[in-house]
Amino acid sequence: MPWRRLIISFVIIAPILALLAFGFTRDAKYITSPLLAKPATPFSVTLFEGKNITLEDLRGKAVFLNFWASWCAPCRAEAHDLEAAWQRVKDKNMIFLGVALQDSDQASRDFLKEFNVTYPNGKDESGKIAVDYGTWGIPESFFIDPQGRITYKHVGGIRAALVLSKLEEAAKSIASAQEGRGDYQGVR
């Protein structure tokens, strides 16, 4: 009889303790995106050079979409890698698109000039594109396949090698099961 009661007590207490322990191991700040393997939300962005570009225009290409800001240190850390990766794929059926958010026009332009960024970049004036893509920690990168489906998401700084391999996967419409993580900075 006492042993039965002891076991019942443990059955009640153990899950409570397990829940407590699980809670401690979780990153409370991290927001897991529900967008993986889902169709990318259409958008239209005005590039710094004045031209307008929509996601529909990029249909048929593997797209690397990167959200950044000039005040974000991890964005600065990855800038060279992104440009290097772009130089490797610019002649393939792949496209890079940078979207600056929560930034001044001049600061964004200075950033692009400083890092000699040559791929198309525009500004999300209203923040709507950022919300459409569930952005919360920048830099955030999305890989979109030629059919317009998100195949991979990476929160934080990303290296050129990973950009290239995930773009190859996007070109083949291979979606990743999990999103990637690097050093990130919260949006403002």
Asked if residue 70 binds other proteins (CB under 8 A), the reply is yes
Q: How far apart are CA 130 and CA 99, in angstroms?
A: 9
Any contact of residue 81 with other proteins (CB under 8 A)?
no
In terms of CB distance, is 10 or 51 closer to other proteins?
10
Q: Which stretch binds other proteins (CB under 8 A): 9-17, 58-66, 92-100, 146-154?
A: 9-17
Number of shown-chain residues binding other proteins (CB under 8 A): 48
Q: Is 6 in the site for other proteins (CB under 8 A)?
A: yes
**In the window 89-148, what residues touch other proteins (CB under 8 A)?**
102, 107, 110, 114-115, 126-128, 130-134, 136
Of the candidate spans 18-26, 82-90, 92-100, 145-153, the one that interacts with other proteins by CB under 8 A turns out to be: 18-26
**Which of residues 52, 60, 73, 174 is near other proteins by CB under 8 A?**
73
Strand segments, DSSP code E, in 23-114 are 44-46, 52-54, 62-68, 94-101
- For helices 105-114 and 73-89, what crossing angle results, to 10°? 60
Side-chain-side CA neighbours of 146 within 13 Å: the count stands at 10
The Cα 42–Cα 44 span in angstroms is 7
Q: Per CB under 8 A, does 48 bind other proteins?
A: no
Three-state DSSP class for residue 134:
coil
Distance of CA 188 to the CA centre of its chain: 16
Work out whether 174 is an interface residue with other proteins (CB under 8 A): no
Q: Is there binding between residue 3 and other proteins (CB under 8 A)?
A: yes
Q: Is 2 in the site for other proteins (CB under 8 A)?
A: yes
- Tokens for 53? 């570009």
Q: For residue 105, give Cα distances in angstroms to 93, 98, 108.
A: 30, 14, 5
* Crossing angle between the packed helical segments 73-89 and 160-171, to the nearest 10 degrees: 50
Q: Site residues (CB under 8 A) for other proteins?
A: 2-3, 5-6, 9-10, 13, 17, 20-21, 24-35, 70-73, 76-77, 79-80, 102, 107, 110, 114-115, 126-128, 130-134, 136, 183, 186-188
